């Protein structure tokens, strides 16, 4: 989910295939190897092949443009593959993190109550500009959220969305390739990857950080990320991303959990390519809609729903 007005939540700019000729990886203390592709291609001598006995698949490749992450480059396969080289029939689906995989606002509200006595519910967030919800300045809002990032409420307290793990497991075992496309910024990249390891281990092939609303560094639109990596569907709770991606010809499942996300509503009119946006209210509906969309996306001559 994007955080309009929240200038502390996106990563260094994602490096796309036009910016990097190969994938590379950074080994971290995690349950399996994650790859991190930087803006510059490493020299062949800087790529080290990981022994087969140390590999765990699938691995997460976390992409950012941070020049500080150019060391400890590892290729788990010893070969490079373009960012969107999807040669088989598997349909690449991009999945957002906050409010789609995990309950960010729920955990944030617990932190705000414990630290500052602020009483808010998810239903109070009619817009994702926390300063407007909390009645404070943008600077104060940023400070509170940074404190949240350092707290146990964030590092270990964000619960998962019910049904997500089960549905994603079935999809990953079928003809789908799952990647994460999030607007989160680099300051919380490691925590994000650790959280995905704990709750969705082995399900996502790649993690892309968009660097939206960051204090420094470039950002990339989710529509650009999805197009560059070959993602045909985005699952996201943010209507602005839904509109942006639909205008770019990308199918969107707009996630409005149980219809209870006040911010996750489409405008009544003026939606370009509105037929590409489908509202889903739980992960069961996500699975159903993907089953309807998949045949036509894999075989463009078919209409949605045909097989």
200 and 264 in one domain? yes
Of 155, 173, 190, the last residue of a domain is: 155
150 and 285 in one domain? no
Residue-level pLDDT at 216: 65
Does the structure show a pLDDT above 70 at 121? yes
Strands (E), the chain: 34-35, 48-49, 60-63, 74-75, 91-95, 176-182, 206-209, 233-236, 251-255, 277-280
239 and 147 in one domain? no
Does the structure show a pLDDT above 70 at 120? yes
Does the structure show a pLDDT above 60 at 138? yes
Domain annotation covers residue 11? no
Active site residues: 96, 98
Domain annotation covers residue 64? yes
Tokens of 79: 């070969």
Domain annotation covers residue 304? no
266 and 149 in one domain? no
Q: Tell me what percent of the residues of the chain surpass a pLDDT of 70.
A: 66
249 and 164 in one domain? yes
What's the total number of domains in the chain? 2
Q: If you average pLDDT over every residue of the chain, what do you get?
A: 76
Residue-level pLDDT at 213: 64
171 and 61 in one domain? yes
Residue-level pLDDT at 255: 98
Does the structure show a pLDDT above 60 at 151? yes
Does the structure show a pLDDT above 70 at 284? yes
307 vs 44 pLDDT, higher one: 307
Domain annotation covers residue 284? yes
Domain annotation covers residue 26? no
3-state secondary structure of 213: coil
Of 115, 139, 155, the last residue of a domain is: 155
Residue-level pLDDT at 62: 52
Query: What's the helix, strand, coil split of the chain in %, to 5?
Result: 35, 15, 50
What residue numbers bound the domain in which 133 lies?
104-155
Domain annotation covers residue 303? no
Q: Tell me what percent of the residues of the chain surpass a pLDDT of 90.
A: 56
CATH number at residue 173: 3.40.50.1000
Residue-level pLDDT at 133: 96
Residue-level pLDDT at 300: 67
177 and 46 in one domain? yes
Domain annotation covers residue 198? yes
Residue-level pLDDT at 180: 98
| pLDDT tens digits, one per residue of 20-53 | 332 322 223 333 334 343 333 322 322 222 233 2
169 and 147 in one domain? no
Q: Identify the DSSP state of 31.
A: S
8 vs 158 pLDDT, higher one: 158
237 and 128 in one domain? no
Of 155, 178, 197, the last residue of a domain is: 155
Residue 274 pLDDT class (50, 70, 90 cuts): very high
Does the structure show a pLDDT above 90 at 272? no
169 and 51 in one domain? yes
**Least confident residue range of 73-77, 101-105, 168-172, 204-208:** 73-77
153 vs 53 pLDDT, higher one: 153
**Least confident residue range of 86-90, 157-161, 190-194:** 86-90
Query: Exposed/middle/buried for 26, CB within 10 Å: 0-12, 13-18, 19+?
Result: buried
Asked whether the beta carbons of 181 and 231 are under 8 A apart, the reply is: yes
**Least confident residue range of 23-32, 104-113, 137-146, 265-274:** 23-32
Residue-level pLDDT at 298: 86
232 and 218 in one domain? yes
| pLDDT tens digits, one per residue of 181-237 | 998 877 889 999 999 999 999 999 999 998 666 666 688 899 999 999 999 999 999
283 and 263 in one domain? yes
In sign, the C-alpha dihedral spanning 80, 86, 88, 90 is positive
Residue 146 pLDDT class (50, 70, 90 cuts): confident
């Amino acid at each position: 989910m994007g955080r309009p007005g929240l200038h502390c939540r996106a990563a260094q700019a994602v490096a796309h295939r036009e910016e990097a000729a190969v994938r590379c990886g950074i080994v971290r203390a995690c349950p399996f190897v994650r790859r991190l592709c930087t803006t510059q291609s490493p020299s062949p001598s800087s790529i080290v092949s990981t022994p087969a006995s140390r590999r765990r698949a699938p691995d997460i490749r976390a992409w950012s443009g941070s020049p500080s992450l150019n060391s400890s480059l590892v290729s788990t396969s010893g070969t490079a593959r373009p960012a969107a080289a999807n040669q088989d029939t598997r349909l690449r689906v991009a999945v957002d993190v906050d409010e789609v995989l995990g309950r960010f606002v729920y955990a944030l509200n617990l932190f705000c109550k414990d630290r500052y006595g602020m009483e808010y519910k998810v239903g109070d967030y009619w817009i994702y500009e926390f300063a407007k919800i909390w009645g404070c300045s943008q600077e104060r809002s940023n400070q509170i959220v940074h404190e949240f990032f350092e707290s146990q409420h964030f590092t270990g307290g964000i619960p998962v969305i019910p049904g997500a793990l089960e549905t994603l497991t079935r999809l990953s075992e079928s003809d789908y390739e799952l990647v994460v496309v999030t607007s989160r910024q680099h300051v919380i990249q490691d925590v994000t990857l650790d959280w995905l390891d704990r709750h969705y281990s082995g399900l996502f092939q790649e993690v892309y950080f968009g660097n939206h609303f960051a204090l420094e560094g470039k950002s990339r639109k989710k529509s650009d990320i999805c197009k560059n990596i070959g993602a045909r569907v985005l699952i996201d709770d943010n209507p602005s991303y839904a509109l942006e991606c639909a205008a770019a010809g990308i199918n969107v499942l707009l996630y409005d959990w149980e219809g209870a996300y006040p911010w996750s509503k489409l405008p009544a009119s003026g939606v370009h390519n509105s037929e590409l946006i489908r509202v889903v209210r739980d992960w069961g509906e996500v699975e159903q809609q993907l089953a309807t969309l998949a045949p036509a996306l894999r075989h463009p001559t078919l209409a949605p729903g045909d097989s």
